[in-house]
Amino acid sequence: MAATYTGQFKKGMKVGKEIHMDFELREMTTADMLDAEMEVPASKVMNFSAALASLQLVRVGTYDGPFTLKMVRALEPDDFNALRDGLSEVASLGEESLPSKATD
């Protein structure tokens, strides 16, 4: 089962007329990395991170997506940083759930 992480925005993400304060991210997949790179070159680290976040978002408040790079770009810097922290956390959670290798 893929790891997920739930976090909080400080100012929120506006979707339609509603402002949502919580978000859920899932682990990234190879497809996410490739799709994000098709949208933004990986050499543009901040933009690539935002594109990847838009693909890893499961939900924001009651909104279940889809999410776009434009939506992530509209976040306040503190909220973008919360999202990036969440990406690091969900990656760590995914690594913790990997089976350990047996040693001889």
Question: Which tens digits make up the pLDDT trace of 19-77?
Answer: 999 999 999 999 999 999 999 988 899 999 999 999 999 999 999 999 999 999 999 99
DSSP 66: -
Beta strands in the chain (DSSP E): 4-15, 18-26, 57-60
Amino acid sitting at position 58: V
Domain positions in the chain are 23-96
Confidence of residue 93 (pLDDT cuts 50, 70, 90): confident
- 10-20 pLDDT, tens digit per residue, is 999 999 999 99
Q: What is the pLDDT of residue 99?
A: 56
Q: How high is the pLDDT of residue 96?
A: 66
Q: What is the pLDDT of residue 101?
A: 56
What whole-number distance in Å separates Cα of residue 23 and Cα of residue 61? Answer: 6
